[in-house]
Chains A and B, each alone.
Chain A
């Protein structure tokens, strides 16, 4: 009996404690609510979001930016899973594909924003998404970043074009991320595929990948590896190189002539708790003062408003003028969208998951070519050509990649749609083919080298 009383007493005091905690929570909530919160989900680093939050607070006292940082795919999943009870106002990330997925799921809200002074396109790429669903606020170009200490120690010249990265002297010195992991890397891959053509483009990527020492899981893994000196040269977005250089790393960067300049975006979510605040932040982001924040040494992105370049710091090129950034590819965004998942899956099956096999085959061909550089042994040359063709072969043709029925296998199916074939089944066939090809190419090249 006494035991029971004591337990009740304890339970009661627990209650009290809980009550106090709840009271405290309520109070803290009401204090925070003084300025209305604008909740933004983003992939951008703390330095960048802090700088914008501070600048936004200065220009606008009504709202306060609350930042939620997640990786791109985690951000998309978070928004999809919480859509029924949405607590987020804005999605603010680089990759246009993330916005495409959200738009397809009906999770974005179309808003009307004043974009005066901002052109429709940068190069050939539209700056804003369709119908006001998302807006571009900064541009980024893709290129090659290298560690100057690393190259010096290894007696290497910097590579300035994609083809340079395929040269045998860079064997084991190159790194990049996978397009399925990083929307920005995806655009780099797609740009080269469009610029060089489907077959030649894939061949180029495989010869470059043969020189890689790693395919990183996060897009930031590449600049991180180059900064620390683990990788000599990396395929990255420009601002990774600019910010690394600005923080003191021995880094340099070049835009190859085949490159695309694409915008990083922001969009308002469906049923946003604070749609007015969300709009206010986008308007601030696109305003001349907001665009200036992009020149912060920890951000270093290219403004989409050409007027902003009047105050650009050294080392920031103007993609709207001059020819440092030549977006020579006529980037077809529709085509890119059509085969988005096919390209990702192909890259992973042929390169990411079989990197060791590919590297061995590519190295064997490189060594055979070096061995026969000054001879004219026809048999060896024929073997090498055969090996090259085996490495370059791609299991999917360009027509297939663009066919809607084929693409449907890789997409989240909508109600009632019937799809022939399964992704896993296809990938298994591709995998079997490339593994066999790489092994065959390796043995042919080794045979050629021994001739």
Chain B
């Protein structure tokens, strides 16, 4: 706590320095990148929202039309309701998983953490198809229910269906960020509380959960914004009266002169930035960092036999639920014909044979694109997090808002913006327009997935105490050296979490890539799945490709989790003498 008194003086000193420092230069470079590949393309497309459709003059008429229309107003309310409820349901799923695996000695923690992450690795349209086959009105569950019990449960109908699918799909955001936070909590905090007689649920409610707040809020904000802007799920469940599908339906109608799609896009972006700002407001003035880093998190307790049974029961139930889309997809991939029956008529390997014969280039392309994009994202994310949290550069908050606004930009809008800006720009040497060079897909992916990496890096840096850095500098380390040797290694867990999230979600992105793929040889996996899924005979093959994607990205996730766990164990050992 002694740092508090020195802090103001230090801060001022940095502000003077920052004008010349390397961090400022990095800040400028990041700003230029975001301007070129996010802000300009989006403005290029959305300025239509401010134009009179017939005269082209600037106007705010269109916004008036939006707020006067009862359809749009109810769409807004529906989107808000679905997002908020999804956060609640996702929390109910993620909290037990995160808490049990980080706080208790529990067999297979890394495995559970990875499996819990798997729902993100699935293009939304594939997930919805699989879920329909299992939970739809004539899916496996309902066919069995009506056969034996004589009733059906409308899991997948209307807004509740959207909430169901979205929370199963996006809860990993909360899980992964919350787990990272829980691991970083200082053991001493918990011990002090226990010494003072605080135990059980009170300990969790008053000490552990509040200390894990940065991670939880980061995850919850992501879920909220993502669900608010998500297009795929409502469209596949044919729910139209939400904002994102309304925007998409209007933008993608052919030859229609309706600016409302762009008005809605603009409102989506604005509202997402607003939600983010609200989450910052909530966090403001609270210090979550801890100085002591040796032990890497909470004490792990052994469970009693009874507790073990309950814990395994809860975890197995949740895992069954969240893995159901994958079970459905696997049945589809290995099945022959599956129509109005609880299970496929027969099983075959033919679908995988088709995929291995025709489509291996999709896999290699995806690994390349998503790997590059995620690598780029954590570099950008760490840089932005550092600039925002640790420097006094003017307008630094803006960097964060800009990067995060990417969450709210519909992929279609970004895709069209890129085509508009970069199609007439030839890349030297290659001799192709930038918009049809495969690198543009990597850029699109990294812009769209930057917010994920950024939130993870921010949460990680928030938990690293400033005094550690100051100590390094007092001992004579340069700014760059202290960032490289102290800050980044201490953030490693969070950065890796960011990489995994960006990578896995980039691997299944479709909406922007479908606009930007200019030859089939350059196409990634999700595009391949989409291609297959366009015909009745391709459904099985598409599902097989989907399973392949899940396995590959799932393995990557598992390995990274193992690294995090190992790293934690190593740190704990080194610190033993303390």
Residues of A bordering B, CB below 8 Å: 22, 25, 39, 45-48, 66-74, 76-78, 81-82, 84-85, 87, 97-98, 100-101, 104, 147, 149-150, 153, 180-181, 183, 213-217, 220-221, 223-225, 227-230, 240, 243-244, 246-250, 297-298, 341, 344-345, 348, 352-353, 355-356, 409-413, 417-419, 422-425, 427-428, 431-432, 435
Q: A147-B339, A149-B341, A228-B132 in contact; A423/B249 too (CB < 8 A)?
A: no
Q: In the bound complex, how far is the Cα of B66 from the Cα of A420, in angstroms?
A: 18
Residue of A at shortest CB range from B246? A353
- Measured between alpha carbons, how far is A46 from B258 in the docked complex, in Å? 32
**Given the known A-B contacts A85-B423, A418-B54, A422-B53, are A413 and B536 also in contact in the complex, defined by CB atoms under 8 Å?**
no
Would you call B249 and A217 a contact (CB within 8 A)?
A: yes
Contact of A67 among B419, B514, B520 (CB under 8 A): B520
Residues of A within 8 A of B535 (CB): 45-48, 220, 243, 298
**Bound Cα distance A92, B127 (Å):** 29
A22 surroundings in chain B (CB, below 8 A): 429-430
- The answer to whether B537 and A25 touch across the interface, beta carbons within 8 angstroms, is no
- Which of B54, B419, B520, B537 is close to A417, meaning CB atoms less than 8 Å apart? B54
Cβ A411 vs Cβ B536 within 8 A: no
Q: Which of B203-211, B233-241, B371-379, B448-456 contacts A (4 or more CB under 8 A)?
A: B233-241
Q: Do B254 and A73 touch across chains, with their CB atoms under 8 A apart?
A: yes
Question: How far is the CB of B441 from the nearest CB of chain A, in Å?
Answer: 14
Within 8 A of A (CB), among B316-354: 336-341
Residue of A nearest to B252 (CB): A73
Interface residues of B in 238-274 (CB under 8 A from A): 238, 240-241, 245, 249, 252-260
20 A-B contacts (beta carbon < 8 Å)? A22-B429, A25-B430, A46-B531, A46-B538, A70-B515, A71-B514, A78-B419, A82-B436, A97-B255, A220-B535, A228-B133, A230-B136, A240-B536, A244-B536, A247-B537, A352-B240, A412-B256, A412-B257, A418-B55, A435-B70
Task: Using A45-B534, A410-B256 as known contacts, say yes or no to A228 and B338 having CB atoms under 8 A apart.
Answer: yes
A353 touches which of B65, B129, B240 (Cβ 8 Å):
B240
Is A228 touching B256 in the complex (CB atoms < 8 A)?
no
Which residue from B65, B137, B433, B519 sits with its C-beta under 8 Å from A85? Answer: B433
Contact yes or no, B436 A87, CB < 8 A: yes
Which residues from chain A contact B136 at a C-beta distance below 8 Å? 228, 230
Judge whether A423 and B260 touch: CB under 8 Å: yes
Q: Are B69 and A428 in contact (CB under 8 A)?
A: yes
B254 near A101: Cβ-Cβ < 8 Å: yes
State the Cβ distance, A418 to closest chain B Cβ, in Å. Answer: 6
Residue of A at shortest CB range from B425? A85
Residue from B339, B424, B436, B515 within 8 A of A229 (CB atoms): B339
| Number of residue pairs A-B, CB distance < 8 angstroms | 209
Shortest Cβ distance from B319 into chain A, in angstroms?
25
Are A81 and B420 in touch, CB under 8 angstroms? yes
B286 interface residue per 8 A CB criterion? no
Pick the contact of B260 from A74, A78, A221, A424 — CB < 8 Å?
A424
Q: Cβ of B70 and Cβ of A47 under 8 Å apart? A: no
Question: How far is it, in angstroms, between the C-alpha of A59 and the C-alpha of B412 when the chains are bound?
Answer: 38
Q: Are B257 and A344 in contact (CB under 8 A)?
A: no
Q: Measured between alpha carbons, how far is A277 from B138 in the docked complex, in Å?
A: 48
A150 proximity list for chain B (CB < 8 A)? 138, 340
Check A215/B68 contact, CB under 8 A, given A73-B254, A150-B138, A422-B53: no
Asked if A221 and B65 make an inter-chain contact with CB atoms under 8 angstroms apart, the answer reads no
Instruction: Confirm or deny: B76 has a beta carbon within 8 angstroms of a beta carbon on chain A.
Output: no
Q: Is B50 an interface residue (CB 8 A)?
A: no
| Nearest neighbor of B429 in chain A, beta-carbon distance | A22
Closest chain A residue, CB of each to CB of B345: A248
Q: A77-B252, A229-B339, A424-B62 are in contact. List 16 more A-B contacts (CB 8 A).
A: A22-B430, A39-B519, A68-B517, A68-B519, A70-B514, A104-B255, A220-B535, A228-B136, A243-B536, A341-B253, A353-B240, A355-B240, A418-B55, A424-B69, A431-B70, A432-B70
What's the Cα separation between A17 and B316 when bound, in Å?
48
**Contact present for B53 and A423 (CB under 8 Å):** yes
B415-445 interface (Cβ within 8 A of A): 416, 419-420, 423-424, 426, 429-430, 433, 435-436
Compute how far the CA of A180 lies from the CA of B246 in the bound complex, rounded to whole angstroms.
Answer: 12
A87-B433, A217-B235 given; A249·B254 CB < 8 A = no
Known: A181-B249, A243-B536, A424-B62. A149 touches B257 (CB 8 A): no
How far, in angstroms, from A81 to B425 measured CA to CA in the complex? 13
If A68-B519, A81-B423 touch, does A45 touch B538 (CB 8 Å cutoff)?
Answer: yes
CB distance from B575 to the nearest CB of A (A): 31
Partner of B416, one of A39, A70, A81: A81
Q: Of all chain B residues, which has the CB nearest A242?
A: B536
Q: Identify the closest chain A residue to B346 (Cβ).
A: A248
Instruction: For A3, give the chain B residue with the smallest CB separation.
Output: B480
Q: Are B424 and A84 in contact (CB under 8 A)?
A: yes
B129 and A224 contact, CB distance less than 8 A: yes
CA A214 to CA B536, docked complex, whole Å? 19
Find chain B residues with CB under 8 A from A409 CB: 257
Name the one of B339, B419, B424 contacting A227, with C-beta atoms under 8 angstroms: B339
**A180 partner residues in chain B, CB cutoff 8 A:** 249, 253, 256
Complex CA distance for A71 and B534, rounded to whole angstroms? 10
Give the A-binding residues of B (Cβ under 8 A).
Answer: 53-55, 61-62, 65-66, 68-71, 129, 132-133, 136-139, 158, 235-236, 238, 240-241, 245, 249, 252-260, 336-341, 412, 416, 419-420, 423-424, 426, 429-430, 433, 435-436, 514-515, 517-520, 531-539
* Chain B residues positioned under 8 Å from A69 (CB to CB): 520, 531, 534
What is the distance, in angstroms, from B461's C-beta to the closest C-beta of chain A? Answer: 25
> What CA separation (Å) do A448 and B137 show in the bound complex?
31
From residue B266, how far is it (CB to closest CB) to chain A in Å? 14
Of B133, B423, B536, the contact of A249 (CB 8 Å cutoff):
B536
What residues of A have a CB within 8 angstroms of the CB of B137 in the complex? 213, 230
CB distance from A101 to the nearest CB of B (A): 4
A25 to B521 alpha-carbon distance, docked (Å): 13
A9→B299 CA distance, assembly (Å)? 47
Q: Which residues of A contact B336 (CB under 8 A)?
A: 248
Bound complex: CA of A63 vs CA of B518, how far in Å? 19
Q: A46-B535, A353-B241, A431-B70 are in contact. Are A149 and B339 (CB under 8 A)?
A: yes
> Separation in Å of the A123 CB from the closest CB of chain B?
25
A-B complex: 10 closest residue pairs judged by Cβ atoms: A229-B340, A45-B535, A81-B419, A419-B54, A424-B65, A247-B537, A244-B536, A149-B340, A101-B255, A45-B534
Q: Which residues of B contact A411 (CB under 8 A)?
A: 255-257
- Asked if B515 and A228 sit within 8 Å, CB to CB, the answer is no
- Contact partner of A74 (CB less than 8 A), chosen from B252, B424, B539, is B252
Q: Are A217 and B236 in contact (CB under 8 A)?
A: yes
Taking CB as reference atom, which chain B residue is nearest A355? B240
A220 to chain B, nearest CB (A): 6
Give complex CA distance A417, B519 in Å: 38
B515 partner, pick from A46, A74, A87, beta carbons under 8 A: A74
* B-chain residues with CB within 8 Å of residue A243 when the two chains form the complex: 535-537
Q: Which residues of A contact B254 (CB under 8 A)?
A: 72-73, 76, 97-98, 101, 183
CA distance A243 to B535 in the complex (A): 8
Which A residues are CB-close (under 8 A) to B340?
Answer: 147, 149-150, 153, 228-229, 250
Closest to B157 in A: A213
B426 contact set on A, CB distance < 8 A: 85
Compute how far the CA of A73 lies from the CA of B137 in the bound complex, rounded to whole angstroms.
30
Known A73-B254, A215-B240, A228-B339: A353·B71 in contact at CB below 8 Å: yes
With a cutoff of 8 Å between Cβ atoms, the chain A residues found around residue B245 in the complex are 217
Q: Would you give the shortest CB distance from B135 to chain A, in whole angstroms?
A: 11
CA A18 to CA B340, docked complex, whole Å: 54
- Return B347 CB to nearest CB of chain A, in Å: 14
Shortest CB-to-CB span from B433 to chain A, Å, is: 5
- Tell me which residues across on chain B come within 8 A of A77, comparing CB atoms: 252, 416, 419, 515
Contact B253 A73 (CB under 8 A): yes
Let me know if B536 and A247 touch, CB within 8 A: yes
Residues of A within 8 A of B158 (CB): 356
Bound complex: CA A67 to CA B534 (Å): 15
